[in-house]
A and B are shown apart, each in its own frame.
Chain A
C-alpha cells in the first residue's frame, strides 16, 4: 500500500506545477468562503457586542411612539417604587465625520443594567462616571475611540446633531480592550445632555427594564405592562435586538450565497485538477492494477493523496481567507452602516466556526472531486487503463445521463421556487440547482457545438484552427469541466450585471419620478429616519419664505415600534406635484388620493407590503399615542428607498396620531423664473448660524442616491471577480493539462513544420474557443440567474421588486471577459509548448 502511494505520489512530486494548480484552486475556493464568512461573522459579532454592551442586563424595554416616551412615565414608575428600570435617550451623532451612537443614561439608574467599568488596569470609571453630571456636555468613551479621535480626558470636541454643533468634553475613558468591547461607536452622556443634544427634552427613547429571576414571570411582566399608558409598550429586549439584526439577515445570506458560488467554481477547479492528476497517471495505474493492486487500495491511495493536497490547499486557503477577510470586512461594515445600523467592525474576529466551514467545504469538495476519477480509474480493467481514449469514450457516453441529471436539477429548482414562496435560502438553493444544472449541460452542448465551431474555425484558420477546436471535444472530460467552471463564473457576472443593472435602472427611474422638488432641505445626520433629524420649526417658516420659493412639500421620517418590529413611518405634507411621485401598483389614484388626504388610511411601499403580506384594502395596526389603531392600506407604491419598507401617511394624520410636529426634510418648488443656484444660496444663508442644513438640488440628491447604490454593490463586484480568478486558475490548469497531454501531437506538428508561433496560436485558439463557448453559454445561464436574482433572491432578501432590463453592453463585456480570461490563461501554456523539444516525444507511442 505504501509503495502504491509512493509510486503515485512521486509522479506528482515530479510535476510540481500540476500539484500547484490543484493547491491554488483549492486555496482560492476555500479563501473566498472563509473570507466572506469571517467578514459576515465579524460584522455580526461587532454588532452583537455593541448591542450587548448597550443592552446590558436589560430583559425588557418600554418603548413608545416615534418620539419615544414622555419622561414623566419613568418618574411615575420610579415614584411608584418600581426600581429595576433605567431611562435611555439615544440617537446618532457625528464626530469628525464619523457616526456614533449617543447613549444618554442616568448613571444612578444604571448600576444593575450596564457595566461601564474598566478592569485590568484597575481604573475606576464608575466614580468618574459621576463626571457626566458635573461636566456640562461630559461624555464617556472607550480608550480606543479616544485614540482614534485623538482625545484625552478633559479635552473638548464638537458633536454634531442634525446640523447643530454641541460642545462635548471627555470626562473619562472606559477600557475598550477587555470589557466594553462593543462600545467603539458609542458615546455615553448624561440623560439631560442627550435630551438637549438630540432635541428630545421631555422625552425618553425607551425605558430599559430588568426583570430578573423569579420576578421575570408572566405576572410581573403583565403587572408592569398594565401600569403603562396607551402609547407605551413593554417589549422583550432580546427579541427587539434580534429584529434589528434580522434587518441585515438578507444581506448576510446573500454574501454567504455568493461565497458558496465561488466555492462551486472552486469545486470544479479542484475536480479538474484532481481528475487530471488521476488520468495523467493512467498508464501507471494500469501497470499497478496489472501487478495486482486492488481497486480498494488504489482508491484509498488516490483519496489519501487528494486529501493531502486538499489539506495543504485548505490550509493556505484559510490563511488567504483571513487576509482577504480583513479587506472584505471593511466593505461589509460599510454596507451595513449605509443601510442597516451603526457599527464599527474594528477587527476580524477569527471565528473558529468560519474557519471550520472553510476547511469542511474544502475537504468535502476534494472528496467529491477525487472520488469520482479515482473510482473511475479503479473501475478499468487493468489493460484498458492504458488507453486515454477509453476515458473520453466513457465521458462521452455519460453525457446523456449528465444531461438528464441537469434537467432534473433545473426541474427541482422550479418546484422549489413554486413551493417555497418567500424563503431566501430556498431561493438560493433553486439558484444553485439552476446554475449547477446548467453547468452540467455544458459538456453536451460543447459536444454538439464543436463540429459547427470546428467548421468555422477551419474556414478562418484552416486545418490548425480545426485541429484546435476538435481537441476541445476530444478531451471533453477535461475541457468540459473547465468550460463549465468558466461558464458559471461568467454567468455569475452576467447574472449580477443583469440584476444590478436592472436594479439601478429601476432606482434611477424611480428617483426621477419620486424626486419632484427642485431643491431639498434636510436636517443632516446618519440614519434616514432618526427622530433627532429635524429642521428647527422656526427655521422652516423662514426657509419657505425665501425669495424664489413657490411652494413646498414637507416630510417627517421616524421609526415606530410595532409588535412585529420596527416600522419606518413617513408623514408627508404634499405639494401638488408630490402626488405624481408615487407610482401605485394597482388602484385608482383618483380615489386613493382623496382618501389619503382625508387621513383615511396609509400608503405602504412595495417591500413593506411584501414583508408583511399586505394587500390593498388590508389594514395594519400601528401604536399611536392613543393606543393601537388600525390603518387601511389605501395603496401600495413602488419604492427603492428602504428594504424594510415604509408606511406613508398624511402629515395631518401623523400629527393627529403621534403629536409630532417636526419636519425632517423640505421639498422646495421654485417660482418659474427663479434660479436653482440662487435659491440654494439663499436657503443656505437663511439657515446659516441656526442650523447646518443640507440644501441640495434634485440632481445632487439623485447622484448621491446612486452613489450609495453603487457603493452597496462593490462587495458583489469583489466576489464575482474572485469567482473569476478561481475560474481563471481553472482554465489555466485545464489548458496546461491539455497541452501536457497533447505534447506528442504538438511535437508531430512541429516535426511537420509548424513554427513555434503556429503551435502557440493553436493553443491560444483552443483556449479562446473554450472561452467563447463558456461566454456564449454563460449568457443564457447568466440571464436566467439574473432573472432568479431579481425576482426571487432580491425580492426575498430585500423585498424589492425590479423590472428586468438587459444591459447589452454588460453581455458583450461578459463575453469578452470569458474569451480574454481564457486567452490570458492560454499565455503560459502557449509559451510552454514553444519551449518543448519535440524530439523525445516523437518516438513514444
Chain B
C-alpha cells in the first residue's frame, strides 16, 4: 500500500507555524522536530491551545507551515501542491475528532462509503469493507441511520470506522475521547487497539489528558511551541 524505504512513518523537521492575532504574529509551533515510526501509537500531550491541533493539521496537509517539512512514509507533504496534498490525505490519512464530525446529511453507511467513493474503491468492495468495519464497531444494524439519531459513543465508533475504512497509513485523532464518558472512552481505546494495530497503521493522538496519553506507545509533549520527547511511556 505504501511504498517506503524507511520504517519512519511521520518525519517532522524544523516545523514552525504562527498565527496572526491582534495584529502580530503569535507563534504556535517553533522549530518542531519529531519522528514517528510505522505502527507506533504516539500521544501528543499538551494543554488547550498548545498547538496540538495545528500540528495535526500540518501533518495532514489541511494547513501549511511557515517553515519546515513534514514527511509521511517518505512523501514530503509540505512540498506538494494543494491538490496533491488533498489526494494524499484522502488516501493515506484517517481522522478522528472530539466532536466526531460526521456528515449529518449522510447515513452511517454513507459516511463510510463517501471516503471509499472518494478513493474510487470498487462498489462491491466498498459494501464489504463498510459492513465489516461497522460490524467491528458493533453498528452494522445502524448503517442507514443518520448520525444525529446515534449516541455520542456510537457516533465516535462510526467516526473510527470512517477513519479506518480506506485503510490509511496514518490515523490522526484530535481529543477523540474528550467528549466521552469513561466507559465509552474505554470502548474507544479497545477499538483502536483491535482495529489499527493489525493493519500496522500509525496513530498520532492529540490529547490534554495524561490518562489518555498513557494508552499510547510513546508520548510527545507540546509546550511553548516546542516538542519534548519522552523515550518511554509516562510513568
Contact = CB atoms under 8 A, between A and B. Distances in A.
Contacts of B87: 753, 755
Given A466-B110, A843-B98, A754 B63 contact: no
Contact of B86 (A389, A466, A754, A837): A754
Q: For chain A, what secondary structure do more than half of its interface residues adopt (helix, strand, loop), or is it mixed?
A: helix
B106 A467 contact: yes
Interface string A821-845: 0000000000000000111001111
A467 B103 contact: yes
Nearest to B93: A753
A842 B97 contact: yes
B175 to A, nearest CB: 8
B84 to A, nearest CB: 10
Contacts of B75: none
B98 A754 contact: no
Interface stretch (B37-45, B54-62, B65-73, B216-224): B54-62
B95 interface: yes
Contacts of B97: 842-843
Contact of B53 (A464, A753, A839): A839
A752 B90 contact: yes
Contact of B117 (A462, A474, A839): A462
Q: For chain B, what secondary structure do more than half of its interface residues adopt (helix, strand, loop), or is it mixed?
A: helix
Given A462-B117, A842-B97, A749 B110 contact: no
Given A842-B97, A843-B98, A752 B114 contact: yes
A838 B98 CA distance: 16
B118 A752 contact: yes
Nearest to A844: B99
B133 to A, nearest CB: 15
Interface in A799-837: 837
A845 B152 CA distance: 12
Interface residues of B, number: 34
Nearest to B168: A753
B12 to A, nearest CB: 17
Contact of A839 (B62, B86, B89, B99): B62
Interface string A310-326: 00000000000000000
Nearest to A749: B103
A748 B105 contact: no
Interface string B85-109: 0110111010101110111111000
Identify which of A462, A463, A466 gathers the most chain B CB atoms within 10 Å of its CB: A463
Contact of B99 (A753, A758, A845): A845
Given A462-B117, A752-B115, A753-B90, A467 B105 contact: yes
Contact of B104 (A462, A463, A745, A754): A745
A660 to B, nearest CB: 78
B83 interface: yes
A476 to B, nearest CB: 12
Nearest to A470: B105
Nearest to B58: A839
B129 interface: no
B145 to A, nearest CB: 14
A843 B62 CA distance: 13
Contacts of B174: 842-843
A750 B99 contact: no
A753 B91 contact: yes
Contact of B118 (A744, A753, A838, A839): A753
B93 to A, nearest CB: 8
Interface in A427-477: 462-464, 466-467, 470-471, 474
Given A389-B148, A744-B101, 7 more contacts: A463-B106, A463-B113, A464-B117, A758-B118, A837-B63, A838-B62, A839-B57
